[in-house]
Amino acid sequence: MPSPPPHDGITDIPLQRAITPMSNTLVCLPFAGGGASFYRAWQDLPDYAPRVAPLQLPGREERFVEDPFRDVMDAADALAPQVATLADGTPFALFGHSLGAVIAFEIARRLDTDGGGRPVHLFVSGSPGPWTGRTQRASGLDDEEFLARVREFAGYQHDALADPDLRELLLPALRADVEMHENYKAVSQDPLSIPITALRGADDHLVTKEQAEEWKDATTAAFQVLEPEGGHMYLTSSPLPVIDAVAMALR
């Protein structure tokens, strides 16, 4: 039975424990400005990894000509029906980082109530609880100030944004993503009945552990907080912290 390779990715998880190979699908939602290609680049994953199925948002990559979403609720309404197709008949979990976390949560809410294929688990990463509004904002700034503020928040900037021509193409979707994230606050106070795992980089200066723990109120099922090494964008260094967390939760 394969076991995950030793690494210091996640605290308080007994990674020495053997993990069964998985038949689950992990449907992944991108962070602000990101696309499905980020998750498609997760190649050569260990045998115990779930099948990674990225959900593409409009306004980027192969959906570049489409208008980006500007409201999380609208995004969840449009994307929820696509999840079952990506899962392809297998049990599935949802994963989202930062903006992707709140979209994944709203998708899970729709699938938890309409009976159209229910996630077995929700993984939310780099995000305070859904009832905590964003106090630090970048919307409305000029391009240079906007990019500097986003870089300050995330501690990370995609290399493509350094190219003036590519930046001009990418900025509309990034601005739309940041705007809808900053304006999001969950409307319903009702918790899900789906287990939730919240992840945050141990050195994340944008999302505190206490804010990650706010997700406990978003479910009546099992809940845990995990802290991989790294900052807000810890998952850009390696997918293994996410893969290990998912494998342990779904074993």
Task: Point out the catalytic residue in the list 98, 139, 188, 193.
Answer: 98
Strands 121-125 and 196-199: parallel
Q: How far is CA 79 from CA 57, 58, 110, 245, 247, in A?
A: 8, 10, 10, 24, 24
Cβ partners under 8 Å of residue 59, min gap 6: 66, 67, 68, 69, 172, 173, 176
Residue 155 DSSP symbol: T
Tokens for 38, please give them: 């980020």
Q: Are strands 121-125 and 51-54 parallel, antiparallel or unpaired?
A: unpaired
* CA 226 centroid distance within chain: 14
Specify whether the CB–CB gap between 245 and 13 falls below 8 A. yes
- The answer to whether residue 237 is catalytic is no
Nearest one of 21, 47, 106, 68 to 94, comparing CA atoms = 106
Closest residue by Cα to residue 47 from 226, 250, 247: 247
Question: How many whole angstroms separate alpha carbon 198 and alpha carbon 129?
Answer: 9
| Active site positions, annotated | 98
